[in-house]
Homo-oligomer: A and B are copies of this chain.
Amino acid sequence: MTTQELIDQIHLKKSFLCIGLDTDLEKIPGHLLQEEDSIFAFNKAIIDATHHLCVAYKPNIAFYEAYGIRGWVALQKTITYLNEEYPQIFTIADAKRGDIGNTSSRYAKAFFEDLNFDSITIAPYMGKDSVEPFLAFTEKHTILLALTSNQGAFDFQTQKIGAEELYKKVIRTAVTYENSENLMYVVGATKASFLEDIRQIVPNSFLLVPGVGAQGGSLEEVCKYGLNENVGLLVNSSRGIIYASVKEDFAKAAAEKAKEMQTKMQRELEKFG
């Protein structure tokens, strides 16, 4: 999926919502545990109920890996279902991978070719040759961690390297990588004012913003500093939507929460003009 197609979908749906599929067998409605593949049954119901309100889904790979082969099968069924039934949806493997060149190439192959995700999240610590193997897939998108939404972000990301913080150095360095036009960046909503600085470095890039909702970030603040001419934002919500109800009405409840978010996003898009 090209960036332009993503932007078109955002305008069509008046939504830049990404729904995080952090599917946890201890949190999904009990009646689904009788299904042969409870994880996929949950995901399918959530997707069918919310696909018209969002432009992206983001399975958090850890939740699938935690269930071993069973989880991997569910992940594969989920991405296949998305690609077949809803090809206009942007898919994000939230994997936070990154390793030396020949190893990163393996991860890129796994997520881009075999699973056929549109994008993957990547950790920057190992630098250029750990990121470029993902960027080599020029039809795909590589989403680099810049400033995350957790407390630990202050351990290193906001520490100053010379005149500026590490997360800015990461972005400024990454834009020099080959095929960097295919980069997006993770920027946590819990520090929305940082977005202003980031927009000075990458005015045109898409930012994937976690931390609105369960983690306390404000959508209005994020939009104030983050929206650009091409929208340039994907705002993620996981638990706040998918676990809105743990009863049989869970999919309907998720759709209601997604609708709330979409309505707010529509308002922000109209405000922006």
Contacts and interface: CB of A to CB of B under 8 A. Distances in A.
A69 to B, nearest CB: 5
**Max chain B CB contacts within 10 Å: which of A60, A102, A131, A145?**
A102
Contact of A107 (B62, B109, B159): B62
Contacts of A96: 97-99, 123, 126
Contacts of A148: 100, 125-126
A170 interface: yes
A152 interface: yes
Interface in A70-105: 72-73, 76, 96-104
A259 to B, nearest CB: 26
B157 A127 contact: yes
What class of interface size applies to chain A in its complex with B?
Answer: 35 or more
B107 A65 contact: yes
A247 interface: no
Nearest to A173: B155
Contact of A156 (B68, B127, B151): B127
A115 interface: yes
A63 interface: yes
Contacts of A68: 72, 76, 110, 114-115
A160 B162 contact: yes
Contacts of A150: 100-101, 126-127, 129-130
Contacts of A130: 150, 152
A111 to B, nearest CB: 8
A127 B152 contact: yes
A166 B155 contact: no
A152 to B, nearest CB: 2
A169 B173 contact: no
A97 B123 CA distance: 9
A169 B96 CA distance: 21
Nearest to A121: B99
A125 B145 contact: yes
Given A123-B125, A126-B150, 15 more contacts: A60-B99, A62-B97, A63-B106, A98-B123, A100-B149, A124-B155, A127-B152, A127-B156, A127-B157, A128-B151, A156-B169, A159-B161, A159-B162, A160-B162, A166-B166
Interface of A: 22, 60, 62-63, 65-69, 72-73, 76, 96-104, 106-107, 109-110, 114-115, 123-131, 145, 148-157, 159-162, 166, 169-170, 173
